[in-house]
Amino acid sequence: MTKPAMILIVEDDVWTAEQHIRTLEAAGFKASYVTSALEAMEQIDTHPPRLIVLDFLLTGQNAFTLLHELRSHTDLAGIPIILCTNSADALAEEDVAVYGVRRVLDKAAMQPDDLVAAVKKALL
């Protein structure tokens, strides 16, 4: 399920994660997913991704746990993050930028192209 990949999707809804992967792979990216912050850290430890697409409310520890963990490791702190969440209206980009979050996308409103555009911009 979690092969080494360029983009890591951390999303506890498998069908949403699969949809992100379809979108990103259609745009030429490689992506894989995990469903929890804990799995994400294990995956990141073994195969650091170029970018992380992160849901905010995860089963178990939420996104902030993972963001804090990433910031505490100098070799991981620079990984760009895109928050992709149904709680986007409660998150200001300027508040989460300190965690390396480059963009907050609202899952309820975004188009597939929005995810691709955000990833491309963050990887520039």
Partner 1 sequence: MEGQKQAAFNGGSLSGDLPLIVTAAHELKAPLSLVRQLALGLEAKTVSAAEQDRLLRQIILVSERALRLTTDLTRSSRLEDGLFELEPLNPVQICEEVAHELAPLYTARGREIRVASRHRPLLVVANRDLLRRIILNFGDNALHYADDRPVELKAGARMGGRTVRIGVRDRGPSIPNNVWKKVETHLGTGAQPLHTRPQSSGLGLLVAGQFALAMNGKLGANRHRDGTTFYVDLGASTQLSLL
Report the residue from 6, 50, 71, 86 that binds partner 1 according to the rule CB under 8 A: 86
How far are the Cα atoms of 26, 38, 107, 108 from residue 69, in angstroms, in the given order?
Answer: 31, 10, 24, 27
Q: How many residues bind partner 1 (CB under 8 A)?
A: 21
Task: Pick from 40, 80, 107, 119 the residue near partner 1 by CB under 8 A.
Answer: 107
Query: Between residues 77 and 111, which has the closer beta carbon with respect to partner 1?
Result: 111
DSSP letter at 35 equals: S
**Is 2 a binder of partner 1 (CB under 8 A)?**
no
In the complex with partner 1, the residue whose CB is nearer, 35 or 101, is: 35
Using alpha carbons only, give the angle 72, 67, 114 rounded to the nearest 5 degrees: 140
Contact yes or no for 53/42 (Cβ under 8 A): no
Instruction: Name which of residues 7 to 66 contact partner 1 (CB under 8 A).
Output: 12-16, 19, 22-23, 26, 36, 57-62
Q: What are the φ and ψ backbone dihedral angles of 103, each rounded to 5 degrees?
A: -155, 145
Residues forming contacts to partner 1 in the complex (CB under 8 A) are: 12-16, 19, 22-23, 26, 36, 57-62, 86, 107-108, 111-112
